Amino acid sequence: MSRKRIVLLFTFLGMLLFIFNGKTVQAGTVNDYIISNKIQPAQIQNREGTFSVWTPYENGVGKPEGVVIHETADDHVSATAENEATYFNNNWNYIEAYVHAFVDNNEIINIHSTDYGVWGAGPTANAKYIQVELCHTHDYDSFARSIANDAYYTASKLIQYNLPDKPTVTILSHDQISKTYGETDHTDPVGYFNNWGYSMDQLYDMIGYYYNNLKDSGNVYGNNANSDLPTTNSANVINVNNTNGSYVPLVAFNNGVATKINNRALANKTAWYTDQTQDYNGVTYHRVATNEWVAANYII
C-alpha cells in the first residue's frame, strides 16, 4: 500500500461514523459512551397498572428466576415508555399481553408488581421471569440513555431478588426465550440492537457493570462517582439507604401487623416511587410495591 493510501486510510478511520438503517452511530461502543459520560439512570417509578391477573411464579410469589429483555418493535416517535404503558393498561385484555415495565431514554415505569408473573413471552417464561420492554429511540444519545435505564432496571431487579448476574441464565432476550421454549417466535431485541451496532453481549456487560457497582457501593458508577443518587423532581419519589447494612429491609402489612419480608429488599442509594403511607408503632411506612413498605428512617 502506498504512503498516500495509508494517510487517506488513517484520515478516514479518524473520522469514522457507522451508519445503521439511516441512523448515525458514533465510533466506539455505546457502553463506553454511557460510562465515560456517567449517564445517570432514571429512577424506577412503581405504578400500579390495570393488569388484574395475579399469578405467582412457578417457585412462588416473589420468586422470579431472572429478567427477560424485550423491545417494543414500535418505531413511532410517540411510542415512549409513558405512552406504551398507557396502551398496555388500556388494552391488555384485548391483546392478551402485559409486561412489568417500560423503559425509554427518560423514564423507567414499572406497572405491575415483579412479585407476580405477566404475559409477555409464552407460558413457560411467564412463570419464571420479570419482563421489561425497551422503547425505540431515534438518536445516538437517546439510545445510550435508554440502554443505561434498561441495564439499571435489570441490575436493580437482580439485586432486589438476590439473583446472580448470569447472562443467558438470569438475563435473557426474548429471542433466547423463543429458541429455548419454542412457545413464541419473537427475536427481539436482536434486530433493533443490530440497527445501532449493539448486541445482547454488550447489554450483558452493561448490566454486569451496574450490578457489581450497586452491590459494592450502592452507586452505578462506584465509589468515585460524582453523584450517589438519581436526580428527581417528583415529590412521590423517595431515595433510600441503610447505613447499617447492605440492603434496605421491607415489611408487609397483614391484618394491620407489619411483618419483615425476608426474601426481598431494596438496594442502597436507590430511588423508588411511592403512592401510599401508613403509620405503625410510631413509624411511618411508604409503599413501594404491592404490600411492600419501607420505613421512613431509611429515607434520605
Give one DSSP letter per residue of 248-274, joined into a string.
EEEEEEETTEEEEEEEEEEETTEEEE-
In 3D, which of 73, 172, 160 has the Cα closest to residue 126? 172
What number of residues does the chain have?
Answer: 300
Asked whether 134 and 195 are in contact (CB, 8 A), the reply is: no
Retrieve residue 148's grid coordinates: 443505561
**What pLDDT does residue 251 have?**
93
Write the pLDDT tens digit of every residue in 158-198: 999 999 999 999 999 999 999 999 999 999 999 999 999 99
Per cent of the chain over pLDDT 90 is: 68
Asked whether 81 and 109 are in contact (CB, 8 A), the reply is: yes
* Residue linked to cell 431515534: 138
Q: If pLDDT is split at 50, 70 and 90, which confidence band does 26 have?
A: very low
**What pLDDT does residue 8 have?**
43
Tell me the pTM. 0.72
Instruction: Please say if the pLDDT value at position 9 is more than 70.
Output: no
Lowest mean pLDDT among 67-81, 196-210, 266-280: 266-280
Query: What Rg, from alpha-carbon coordinates, does the chain have?
Result: 20
In 3D, which of 286, 272, 266 has the Cα closest to residue 214? 266
Write the pLDDT tens digit of every residue in 114-158: 999 999 999 999 999 999 999 999 999 999 999 999 999 999 999
Retrieve residue 33's grid coordinates: 459512551
Q: If pLDDT is split at 50, 70 and 90, which confidence band does 224 have?
A: low
**What pLDDT does residue 266 have?**
86
Instruction: Please say if the pLDDT value at position 222 is more than 90.
Output: no
Write the pLDDT tens digit of every residue in 238-254: 888 999 888 899 999 99
Instruction: Please say if the pLDDT value at position 217 is more than 90.
Output: no
Average pLDDT of the residues in 11-39 = 60
Q: Tell me the β-bridge partners of 67.
A: 130, 171
**What pLDDT does residue 236 have?**
65
Q: What integer best gives the mean pLDDT of the chain?
A: 87
